[in-house]
Amino acid sequence: MNNLKNSLKSNNLEFDDKFYERCNEFIKLLQKWGKVHNLSGSLHENDIIENIVDSVYPLSFINNFESFADIGTGAGYPGLLLAISKPNIKCYLIEPRIKRVAFLNFVKNSLGLQNVEVICKRVEEVKDIKVDLITSRAVTNTSLLLDLTINISKDNCSFLFYKGSMLEDEIKKAKLDNCTIISRKERNYLYLQK
């Protein structure tokens, strides 16, 4: 666990002991079930730690939020890790694939994450929630994500998309005028505020 703590510390992020306990448990569960159900890429501890850091790094620059929805959470990145780091914030993890949903619910129950609700649907089918932050990593392009999430965004909703390179075209296509890009390693975090 020291690896994770040190890595977060070197990125100016610190969390309480409960966060590290829960991350530790998440790593164990992902390593155990990820192989059986082909849930995620590398299950090597260092790679999982890097994915955890990637998931929570934006907390160092985004504004406060009261609720959020993560689109296409897969095996947990970034939504589940953001939920672990913000246990008092209501969090919706939206993921249509049943095995991934079963894993997310299993982690939610094992870790006692009362702030998490897993929704087994495609985001465009979700209509009964409204949030003030939407996150997504490795699901689809920015323009489509903005369209697909219209029904679940509050008027003042912000968007945090975890992107790689080649962002300029996406920004042009989505006609974004109020966005911030923060880079870390290969990652470009695209943060949009209304």
Shortest gap between Cβ of 13 and ligand SAM (angstroms)?
19
The only residue of 23, 34, 52, 73 in contact with ligand SAM, by rule CB under 6 A: 73
Amino acid at 70: D
Of the residues 33, 65, 77, 191, which one makes contact with ligand SAM according to CB under 6 A:
77
Is there a binding annotation on residue 139?
no
Largest CA distance in the chain: 44
If one asks whether residue 68 binds ligand SAM (CB under 6 A), the answer comes out as no
Nearer to ligand SAM, 25 or 124 (CB): 124
- The span from the CA of 141 to the CA of 143, in Å, is 6
Out of 1, 3, 28, 96, the residue judged to bind ligand SAM by CB under 6 A: 96
Q: Which stretch of DSSP H or E encloses residue 155? A: strand 153-163
In what order do the strands lie in the sheet containing 116-119?
116-119, 90-94, 67-71, 131-137, 153-163, 187-192, 179-184
Q: Compute CA distances 149 → 110, 112, 192, whole Å.
A: 29, 28, 14
Helix, strand, coil % (nearest 5) of the chain?
A: 45, 25, 30
138 binds ligand SAM (CB under 6 A): yes
77 assigned ligand-binding residue: yes
**Which residue in 69, 123, 134, 174 binds ligand SAM (CB under 6 A)?**
123
**Residue 100 interacts with ligand SAM (CB under 6 A)?**
yes
Smallest distance, ligand SAM to C-beta of residue 121, A:
7
d(CA 51, CA 10): 15
Residue 150, interface with ligand SAM (CB under 6 A)?
no
Instruction: Tell whether residue 161 is a contact of ligand SAM (CB under 6 A).
Output: no
Which residues are near ligand SAM by CB under 6 A?
Answer: 71-74, 77, 94-97, 100, 122-124, 137-139
